[in-house]
């Protein structure tokens, strides 16, 4: 039979804590297991807590419940429960498992050498998130933090080793237990349980409390590792945006220089070739501009990108009107968006040069989605293609580029002869296989 998640967690945490003491262990010292983030191992340490009294049936039931709590809490941690929620659950479950009125997580504030009550149960709203207590060695929590040893204080009202914190005095707390919460290299703080009832916390109680702290220690380490990863990712995203910004600026400068050279060229053919090169570079620059202004760097809104490039073309070619109709929400990978728009760029410049040799160019570009395909159409009402035209054997650079981009996109490019004009229709998969 396959173990359930809860059973696996129960068995795992029973192993790492050595189980809770039973009656035949009553007068023996127990071992406290500490999780070491640096080595990611559990280290056994001897604990000289109070001896375990002979257990009654009710006490045995409580020990079983403590094992269940450890298993349940382990499952919560393994499921990736948000850290603040995990802290709240820890204090609630610790209080239940030890039948105490209060429990709290004390986060260490090194600059102030104080603890902040960052989570707790049984305390008023003015305590959790606001109250602080001293973290010096004179307090039980401070002693646990600085020595790393679990602390049992069964008689705070007559305790001579420690100074009872004012917060505990105000709430009539008579006994407490503290265990350190290990962090990634430095202690996170202390897990504490408090009771104002008479009685004593025993060795098995500190083992249970340490078991919960061990699980929290792993969660703290995971949280800090995830935080470091997020910071690294944010920095990478920032650097990539900066790279795209600089690439955009560089390409815009090159495009402007080519356009300037085209204006001064004496040959009409040279002017046309320089302007075509300028428009291709400007189209790529537009992609990088969109990338550094977007929250995503791996995808582009194809309709918005296509509209930008077509507007630039219309503005740069006198006497040419480019009309765009693009469906919203068609988002494709960046490495697909750029060749798709460059293909459209070539078809528009070819139409302006060959379909309207006398000027007054009009081109219609449409972008739509059909099932799992993206369809791009470029249509003109010019003089049409020669009867001998073959798209696969084009000698001009523009048509060779069109075919190359179509293959790169795994697309199907169709040429439709109209009366008047011509329409090129590219059908490409929206999510092609890599």
Task: In whole angstroms, give the CA distance from residue 174 to residue 88.
Answer: 23
**β-strands 361-370, 422-429 pairing:** unpaired
DSSP state of 53: P
| Per-residue model confidence (pLDDT) at position 87 | 92
pLDDT digits (tens, 9 = 90+) for 239-286: 877 887 788 788 778 878 887 877 777 787 787 778 778 888 888 888
**Options 3.40.50.300, 3.30.70.1150, 3.10.580.10, 3.30.565.10; CATH of 296-429:** 3.30.565.10
Q: Which residues contact 385 (CB under 8 A, 6 or more apart)?
A: 415, 417, 422
**β-strands 320-326, 361-370 pairing:** parallel
* Token output for 126: 């003015």
Task: In whole angstroms, give the CA distance from residue 413 to residue 403.
Answer: 8
**β-strands 373-380, 422-429 pairing:** antiparallel
Task: Measure the CA angle with vertex 108, ends 104 and 114; round to 5°.
Answer: 95
Phi, psi of 154, deg, nearest 5: -85, -15
Task: In whole angstroms, give the CA distance from residue 281 to residue 253.
Answer: 10
pLDDT band for position 118 (50/70/90)? very high
Give the homologous superfamily in CATH for domain 5-226: GAF domain (3.30.450.40)
| Per-residue model confidence (pLDDT) at position 108 | 93
| Per-residue model confidence (pLDDT) at position 39 | 53
pLDDT digits (tens, 9 = 90+) for 354-410: 899 888 899 999 999 998 899 999 999 999 988 888 877 666 778 888 999 999 999
Give the residue among 285, 349, 347 at the shortest CA–CA distance from 320.
Answer: 349
At residue 171, does pLDDT exceed 80? yes
The answer to whether residues 127 and 138 touch, using CB atoms and an 8 Å cutoff, is no
Phi, psi of 194, deg, nearest 5: -135, 145
The answer to whether residues 171 and 102 touch, using CB atoms and an 8 Å cutoff, is yes
Pairwise pLDDT comparison (358 vs 48), residue with the higher score:
358
Phi, psi of 313, deg, nearest 5: -65, -45
Q: What is the 3-state secondary structure (H, E, C) of 108-168?
A: EECCCCEEEEEEEECCCCCCCCCCEEECCCCCHHHHHHHHCCCEEECCCCCCCCCCCCHHH
The answer to whether residues 416 and 423 touch, using CB atoms and an 8 Å cutoff, is yes
Q: Among 28-42, 100-114, 415-429, whose mean pLDDT is lowest?
A: 28-42
| 32-46, 52-66, 293-307 — most confident range | 293-307
pLDDT band for position 42 (50/70/90)? very low
Query: Residue 18 to residues 11, 31, 45, 208, 421: CA-CA distances in angstroms?
Result: 10, 8, 12, 10, 84
Q: How far is CA 167 from the centre of its chain?
A: 38
The answer to whether residues 156 and 199 touch, using CB atoms and an 8 Å cutoff, is no
Sorted by where each begins, the domain ranges of the chain are 5-226, 296-429
Pairwise pLDDT comparison (128 vs 393), residue with the higher score:
128
The answer to whether residues 37 and 185 touch, using CB atoms and an 8 Å cutoff, is yes
Buried-state track 365-390, b at ≥16 Cβ within 10 A, e below 16? bbbeeeeeebbbbbbbbbebbeeeee
pTM over cut 0.85: no
Q: Which residues contact 419 (CB under 8 A, 6 or more apart)?
A: 384
Task: In whole angstroms, give the CA distance from residue 122 to residue 115.
Answer: 18
| DSSP alpha helix (H) spans, 265-360 | 268-292, 302-316, 334-350
């Amino acid at each position: 039979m396959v173990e359930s998640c809860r059973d696996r967690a129960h068995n795992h945490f029973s192993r790492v804590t050595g189980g809770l003491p039973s009656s035949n262990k009553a007068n023996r010292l127990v071992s406290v297991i500490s999780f070491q983030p640096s080595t990611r191992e559990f280290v056994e340490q001897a604990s000289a807590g109070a001896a375990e009294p002979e257990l009654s049936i009710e006490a045995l039931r409580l020990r079983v419940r403590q094992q269940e709590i450890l298993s349940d809490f382990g499952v919560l941690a393994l499921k990736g429960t948000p850290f603040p929620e995990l802290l709240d659950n820890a204090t609630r479950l610790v209080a239940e498992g030890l039948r105490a009125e209060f429990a709290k997580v004390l986060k260490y504030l090194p600059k102030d050498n104080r603890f902040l009550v960052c989570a707790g149960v049984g305390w008023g709203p003015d305590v959790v998130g606001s109250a602080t207590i001293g973290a010096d060695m004179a307090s039980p929590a401070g002693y646990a933090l600085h020595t790393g040893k679990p602390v049992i204080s069964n008689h705070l009202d007559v305790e001579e080793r420690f100074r009872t914190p004012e917060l505990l005095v105000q709430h009539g707390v008579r006994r407490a237990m503290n265990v350190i919460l290990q962090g990634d290299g430095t202690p996170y703080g202390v897990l504490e349980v408090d009771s104002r009832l008479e009685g004593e916390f025993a060795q098995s109680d500190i083992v249970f409390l340490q078991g919960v702290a061990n699980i929290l220690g792993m969660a703290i380490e995971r949280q800090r590792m995830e935080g470091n990863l997020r910071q690294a990712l944010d920095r990478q995203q920032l650097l990539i945006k900066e790279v795209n910004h600089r690439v955009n600026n560089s390409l815009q400068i090159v495009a402007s220089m080519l356009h300037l050279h085209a204006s001064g060229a004496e040959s009409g053919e040279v002017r046309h070739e320089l302007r075509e090169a300028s428009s291709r570079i400007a189209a790529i620059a537009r992609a990088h501009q969109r990338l550094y202004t977007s929250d995503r760097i791996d995808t582009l809104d194809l309709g918005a990108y296509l509209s930008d490039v077509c507007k630039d073309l219309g503005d740069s070619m006198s006497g040419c009107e480019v009309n765009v109709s693009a469906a919203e929400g068609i988002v494709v990978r960046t490495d697909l968006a750029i060749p798709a728009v460059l293909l459209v760029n070539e078809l528009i410049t070819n139409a302006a040069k060959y379909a309207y040799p006398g000027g007054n160019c009009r081109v219609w570009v449409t972008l739509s989605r059909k099932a799992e395909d993206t369809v791009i159409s470029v249509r003109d009402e010019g003089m049409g293609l020669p009867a001998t035209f073959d798209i696969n054997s084009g000698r001009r650079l523009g048509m060779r580029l069109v075919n190359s981009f179509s293959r790169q996109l795994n697309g199907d490019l169709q040429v439709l002869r109209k009366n008047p004009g011509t329409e090129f229709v590219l059908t490409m998969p929206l999510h092609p296989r890599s």
